[in-house]
């Protein structure tokens, strides 16, 4: 294994049976399904209100209606994935979805219901029928996260270490995982554990414009790569077609859920034209990669800074009830969506690639697991189907926990890196991070070519060389190295894939 840095020996040592890195839906649900006899620690970089899961609006896809079927959901997933999905993984995802929806309800997740008390089911892009469950109209991720977190707090076997930064995965004397190194409150801590679950989310913050939380700098993926874990599909980065043009607090772009288009919203240019009807048979409900490229082409063709999403066909009463979060956020910008179009642009949203796992979340490194957006199970292929992400967190989060329960490894003696003589870092990390984001956005975004990506890769490699030998023990320093590690992997994979497929669209093939 490779280690990022080691200034000194750990100040403190803790012992647990399982360490979960990340506190979104995948990490929380995995922890809840671990045998209560096992001691679990959840490592969370920032506060409880910081995860990509919290910001998930649309819902969670699962077969619940009689007119739907597992076969239909599998078909839609495979089509959206542009032929790149692992069909066995997709079948596992879809077939185990309904039983997990029951478990979520039993845990207290408040899925919306209609006046008759039946689940309120809606539709999103590239789905052939209604199968999206949601909470609070358009606050599904927050309700799911809050509920699961409340259940975690009730469990005596689960400890949360808040504001703790993952540094590295520690190798055992006999190979495989023996623990993790973390930094918390200025202390270096060794967590002895034979099972590590990376549930740290995506890589959105290596792009300038993203809907991702500030924590999404690819930390878990980068640490797993240093530990020898294989990664897969790193070139497939999904851009959501519709985000508000105004960045919010922390630079995060507010997502305008695909569920609006599921309820009849139409994309328009400044000529009032509903342009998607001429692009794809499913028009505004086409797969996300298709819609994102169509918007970019409209913006380029007419020299526009954005396009518009028109949901004025619906009443104010409907919009306030069905989309309370979006309605309120738009009103903060004096956009009354009952009468005004919403100015939108495509921004980075999701990562189909990640740490390669099997159907139980296990990697090629013994004792190392990954679930959620940090993982690559193969279910999304080249382009994720809307609302399959939370479903993946749930299905594979549970499968991972059950595998750990049935195959609990013994503790291994950790092999710690030797302390190094490191130079205090005097580099402007803020400028470096900004340069990473600009390069990835301009040269490895929605539309790509080999020349641009080659230039970006050269820049990233040069930056990594600049950081060698410096003390990067701060959160910003560690994040910067992780951002460069992930950016290099994405660029290398994107350059290697010569053909356009799904979210990977090249103009020079």
pLDDT in tens, 282-304: 999 998 889 999 999 999 999 99
Task: Give tens-digit pLDDT for 136-183.
Answer: 988 898 999 999 999 999 999 999 999 999 999 999 988 899 999 999
Give the whole-angstrom CA distance, residue 211 versus residue 209: 7
Which candidate in 208, 288, 322, 437 is catalytic? 288
Architecture of the structural domain at 12-236+352-415: 3-Layer(bba) Sandwich (3.50)
- Quick one: average pLDDT of 344-368? 97
pLDDT, averaged across the chain: 93
Average pLDDT over residues 176-200: 95
Q: Which residue ranges make up each domain of the chain?
A: 12-236+352-415, 237-349
* β 368-370/195-198 pair status: parallel
pTM: 0.94
Residue with tokens 């240093």: 226
Catalytic-residue membership of 288: yes
Average pLDDT, stretch 446-455? 97
Nearest to 504 by CA among 81, 52, 56: 81
pLDDT surpasses 70 at 244: yes
Residues 351, 373: contact at Cβ < 8 Å? yes
- Helix runs in 70-139, H state only: 70-80, 87-95, 97-107
Residue 124: closest CA among 71, 80, 88: 80
Lowest mean pLDDT across 205-214, 320-329, 380-389, 409-418:
409-418
Kindly state the tokens that stand for 136: 């609070």
C-alpha 22/C-alpha 238 separation (Å) is 21
Question: What is the model's pLDDT at position 24?
Answer: 94
For residue 1, pLDDT beyond 60: no
Q: Which whole number is the average pLDDT over 475-487? A: 95
DSSP three-state, residue 145 = helix
pLDDT-derived band at 6 (thresholds 50, 70, 90) equals low
Burial of 154 (0-12, 13-18, 19+ CB in 10 A): exposed
Among 242, 286, 280, 284, which residue's Cα sits nearest to residue 266? 284
3-state secondary structure of 139: coil
Contact between 292 and 239 under an 8 Å Cβ cutoff? The reply is yes
pLDDT of residue 84: 96
- Average of per-residue pLDDT across 469-473: 85
237-349 adopts what CATH topology? Flavocytochrome C3; Chain A, domain 1 (3.90.700)
- The span from the CA of 509 to the CA of 502, in Å, is 14
Task: Give the whole-number percent of the chain exceeding pLDDT 90.
Answer: 82
Model pLDDT, residue 496: 98
Nearest to 54 by CA among 211, 217, 272, 234: 211
pLDDT of residue 5: 59
* Helix runs in 227-323, H state only: 259-262, 288-301, 316-322
CA dist 453 and 442 (Å) reads 9
């Amino acid at each position: 294994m490779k280690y990022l840095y080691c200034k000194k020996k750990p100040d403190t040592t803790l012992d647990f049976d399982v360490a979960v890195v990340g506190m979104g839906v995948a990490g929380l649900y995995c922890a809840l399904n671990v045998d209560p006899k096992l001691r679990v620690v959840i490592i969370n970089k920032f506060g409880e209100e910081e995860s990509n899961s919290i910001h998930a609006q649309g819902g969670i896809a699962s077969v619940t209606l009689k007119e739907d079927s597992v076969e239909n959901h599998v078909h839609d997933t495979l089509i959206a994935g542009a032929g790149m999905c692992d069909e066995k993984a997709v079948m596992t995802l879809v077939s185990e979805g309904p039983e997990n929806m029951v478990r979520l309800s039993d845990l207290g997740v408040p899925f919306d219901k209609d006046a008759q008390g039946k689940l309120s089911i809606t539709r999103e892009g590239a789905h052939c029928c209604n199968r999206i469950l949601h909470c609070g109209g358009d606050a599904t991720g927050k309700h799911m996260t809050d509920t699961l977190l409340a259940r975690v707090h009730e469990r005596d076997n689960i400890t949360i270490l808040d504001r703790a930064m993952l540094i590295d995965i520690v190798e055992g004397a006999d190979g495989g995982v023996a623990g993790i190194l973390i930094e918390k409150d200025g202390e270096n801590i060794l967590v002895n554990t034979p099972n590590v679950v990376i549930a740290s989310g995506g890589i959105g913050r290596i792009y300038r414009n993203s809907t991702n939380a500030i924590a999404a700098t690819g930390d878990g993926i980068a640490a797993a790569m240093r530990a020898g874990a294989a990664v897969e599909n790193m070139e497939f980065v999904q851009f959501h077609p519709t985000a508000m043009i105004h960045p919010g607090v922390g630079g995060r772009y507010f997502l305008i859920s695909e569920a609006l288009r599921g309820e009849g919203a139409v994309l328009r240019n400044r000529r009032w034209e509903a342009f998607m009807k001429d692009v794809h048979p499913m028009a505004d409900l086409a797969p996300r990669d298709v819609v994102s490229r169509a918007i970019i082409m409209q913006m380029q063709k007419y020299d526009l800074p954005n396009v518009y999403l028109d949901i004025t066909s619906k009443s104010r009463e409907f919009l306030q009830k069905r989309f309370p979060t979006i309605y309120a956020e738009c009103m903060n910008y004096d956009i009354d969506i009952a009468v005004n179009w919403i100015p939108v642009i495509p921004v980075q949203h999701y990562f189909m690639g990640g740490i390669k796992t099997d159907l139980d979340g296990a990697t090629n490194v013994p004792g190392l697991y990954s679930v959620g957006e940090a993982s690559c199970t193969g279910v999304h292929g080249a382009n994720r189907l809307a609302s399959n992400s939370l479903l993946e967190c749930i299905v594979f989060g549970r499968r991972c926990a059950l595998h750990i329960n049935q195959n609990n490894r013994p503790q291994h003696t950790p092999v710690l890196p030797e302390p190094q003589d490191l130079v205090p870092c005097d580099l402007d990390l803020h400028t470096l991070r900004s340069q990473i984001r600009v390069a990835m956005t301009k040269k490895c975004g929605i539309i790509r070519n080999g020349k641009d990506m080659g230039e970006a890769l050269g820049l990233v490699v040069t930056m990594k060389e600049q950081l060698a030998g410096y003390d990067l023990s701060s959160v910003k320093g560690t994040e910067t190295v992780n951002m460069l590690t992930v950016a290099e992997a994405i660029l290398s994979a994107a350059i290697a894939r010569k053909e356009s497929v799904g979210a990977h669209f090249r103009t020079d093939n």
